[in-house]
Every structure is written in structure tokens, then in C-alpha cells.
């Protein structure tokens, strides 16, 4: 069993070129989850994740408020909201509140990671 606490100071904060006033903690990829990645994202008031596209992603709003964009659709988001971004769709989010916007992002494997985890699972089934 592996338990990770996002408030553990040993887990470093990261940044990205398409994040403004935003930081994240990579909670790792667990082999038992077939390559699913999780990120704890914190966007400062007025900060944003610029429009970009990659594999599918699911967001869960933990705290704060914001405005989420997927392709040409925009919607206000609040704690408790779940947002699904289909693979390859353009996405972005802006913190519209006065407090940090905190999100949990879950990314299933895509591209080579998707292929790797499926080939690995197939080989494990064959070797049993």
C-alpha cells in the first residue's frame, strides 16, 4: 500500500510553461493503476492554465472557483464539480476567485504511455 499526502513538504511543487501563477504536485504513477497519473493543482487568484491540448483528463474541483474552457465552451466551476476533457481537446482554466483554486487532475495514459501500459498488462496475463 502506498499513501501520499499532498501536504507533505517532501513532495516538490512543479510549474509548467502553460501555467501562469500556477503550481502542481505530481502524485506519481502507480503500476497498479496501469499508468494513470494524478496531479494536485493550485492556481493563485488571477492565475490560469493557458489553452493547450494533450491526452484525456479528468478534473475535480476541491476548493475555489474558476472558469473552465474546453474547445469553444466555457463554464464556471465550483467545489465538487467534475470536468472531463476528451483526448486531444483544447482546454484551459482561470481562477476567477479571491482564493486559490485547487484541483485534482487525473490523466489516463496516452500516446506511448498508453501503449506501454497495455502491452505490459498483456504480457503479465500471458506469463501467469
Compute φ and ψ for 71, nearest 5 degrees: 55, -115
Task: Decide if 2 is inside a domain.
Answer: no
- For residue 48, what pLDDT is reported? 97
Bridge-based pairing of strands 37-52 and 91-95 is: antiparallel
Task: Decide if 11 is inside a domain.
Answer: no
Question: Residue range 95-113: average pLDDT?
Answer: 88
- For residue 31, what pLDDT is reported? 59
Task: Decide if 7 is inside a domain.
Answer: no
Task: Decide if 12 is inside a domain.
Answer: no
Query: Above 70 in pLDDT, residue 30?
Result: no
Partners of 48 in beta bridges: 20, 94
Task: Decide if 90 is inside a domain.
Answer: yes
| Domain count of the fold of the chain | 1
Question: 123: domain range?
Answer: 19-127
Q: Could you tell me if 122 and 81 are in contact, meaning their C-beta atoms sit under 8 angstroms apart? A: no
* CATH code, 30: 2.60.120.10
Query: Above 90 in pLDDT, residue 18?
Result: no
Digit-coded pLDDT (tens) for 44-102: 999 999 999 888 999 999 999 999 999 999 999 999 999 999 988 999 999 999 999 99
Amino acid at each position: 500500500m502506498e499513501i501520499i499526502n499532498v501536504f507533505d513538504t517532501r513532495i516538490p511543487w512543479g510549474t509548467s510553461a502553460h501555467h501562469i501563477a500556477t503550481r502542481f504536485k505530481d502524485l506519481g504513477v502507480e503500476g497498479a493503476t496501469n499508468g494513470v497519473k494524478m496531479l494536485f493543482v493550485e492556481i493563485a487568484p488571477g492565475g490560469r492554465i493557458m489553452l493547450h491540448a494533450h491526452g484525456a483528463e479528468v478534473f475535480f474541483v476541491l476548493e475555489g472557483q474558476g472558469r473552465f474552457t474546453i474547445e469553444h465552451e466555457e463554464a464556471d466551476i465550483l467545489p465538487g464539480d467534475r470536468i472531463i476533457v476528451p483526448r486531444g481537446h483544447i482546454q484551459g482554466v482561470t481562477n476567477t476567485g479571491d482564493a486559490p483554486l485547487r484541483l485534482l487532475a487525473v490523466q489516463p495514459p496516452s500516446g506511448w504511455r498508453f501503449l506501454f501500459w497495455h502491452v505490459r498488462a498483456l504480457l503479465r496475463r500471458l506469463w501467469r
